[in-house]
Structure 1
Amino acid sequence: MTIKTTGKHAAAAVAAVLALGAAGGAWAQASSTDTTDMSSAGNTNGGGLPQVQQQGSVSYTSGGVGLDESKALQREQSHWPLSLRFTGPTADYLSGVHVRIVDGKNAELLNTEAMGPYMLVKLPPGKYTVFAKYKDQEQKHAVSVEGPGKSKSAFHWNIQ
């Protein structure tokens, strides 16, 4: 079977293909520059590590809901001065934990929400207090940061 196309139909087909190509390229360019995506799929770090965020002079990342992200965060703990973990009843992993970190002079250095059960924080050596609030229950832990991979703190809640 042979299909004949007229000049009008061929020009319309070429124009449609070019328009789709341009739209696809624009979408790809826009999505590759999106820095608000907090998931591992949208990060620029690679290896499943969630996007590193900055608040003042403090860098941090959090997540671990998926297996790739969880493994990446556990693998990276040795490179970050402070590692935090959040669990609930029967060691369930938690997300949505509100985290505040203050220094020895009670100056707030970090105030954010954890996107999963793990949070890695870059802080200079020193003594800090970490406040973690899940639902209506807040806990606080004193931590001493000495260098990468040295300080870990686990928070556990017995509420659903």
Structure 2
Amino acid sequence: MIGHGAWARIAAVAVAIVAFALTAHAADVPFVSGGVGADERQDLLAKEKEYTLKIVVAEDKGDFLADVQVVIEASNKEHILDTTMDGPILLAKLAPGTYTVSATSDGKTQTRTVTIAAGALRQLDFRWPASTPPAAR
């Protein structure tokens, strides 16, 4: 049989575990990505007022890209978002502050610094040279 003191220690450990789990997830950033088709792009554009950062990725000739790896790092160097975009647009809800955003497409990484203000949407555009089709190489 477990005594009262043991239950108190178990409860204290449980509270500590829950507090750690909440802290570990505090860096989670709500985001959505997509925009492959016109309808999906319109849906994202309709939601952009709910977010503070919009990232658009494309080739320099204008063709949209997908499968771009995005890493957002806070000023304390903590990675707060690391994801592969499902389309050319990513919307993220970042707290006010300064962030470093890296986007990688086809092994080529571009990095930008962005300052987010309360209630304002900032946009970052990343462009890469058009890929050479395999048949043309």
Question: Which range, TM-score by smaller chain?
Answer: 0.7 to 0.9
2:97 to 120, 123, 126: 126
Task: Give the alignment's TM-score, normalised by structure 1.
Answer: 0.63
Correspondences of 1:29-108 after superposition (within 5 Å): 56-108=27-79
Render the CA deviation track for 1:3-42: whole Å, top value 9, x for unaligned.
xxxxxxxxxxxxxxxxxxxxxxxxxxxxxxxxxxxxxxxx
Number of residue equivalences: 107
The CA distance in 2 between the partners of 1:91 and 1:72, in whole Å, is 20
Are positions 1:147 and 2:121 aligned together?
no
The CA distance in 2 between the partners of 1:139 and 1:97, in whole Å, is 11
Identity of aligned residues (%): 30
Name stretches of at least 5 consecutive residues in structure 1 with no aligned partner.
1-53
Task: Give the alignment's TM-score, normalised by structure 2.
Answer: 0.73
What is the CA RMSD across the aligned residues, in angstroms?
Answer: 1.7
Q: Where does structure 1 differ by over 2 angstroms across 4 or more consecutive aligned residues?
A: 54-57, 147-150
Render the CA deviation track for 1:117-144: whole Å, top value 9, x for unaligned.
0000011110000000001110001011
SS at match of 2:129: coil
Relative CO higher for 1 or 2, CA cutoff 8 Å, sep ≥ 6?
A: 2
Name stretches of at least 5 consecutive residues in structure 2 with no aligned partner.
1-24, 132-137
Provide the residue aligned with 1:159 in structure 2.
130
The CA distance in 1 between the partners of 2:120 and 2:35, in whole Å, is 18
> What is the CA-CA distance between 1:84 and the residue it aligns to?
0.5
Kindly indicate whether the alpha-carbon contact (under 8 Å) linking 1:100 and 1:110 is maintained by their aligned counterparts in 2: yes
> What is the CA-CA distance between 1:87 and the residue it aligns to?
0.6
The CA distance in 2 between the partners of 1:136 and 1:103, in whole Å, is 23
Aligned pair in 2 of structure 1 residues 130, 115: CA closer, same or farther (>3 Å)? same
Aligned pair in 2 of structure 1 residues 72, 146: CA closer, same or farther (>3 Å)? same
Q: Considering only CA atoms, is the larger Rg found in Structure 1 or Structure 2?
A: 1
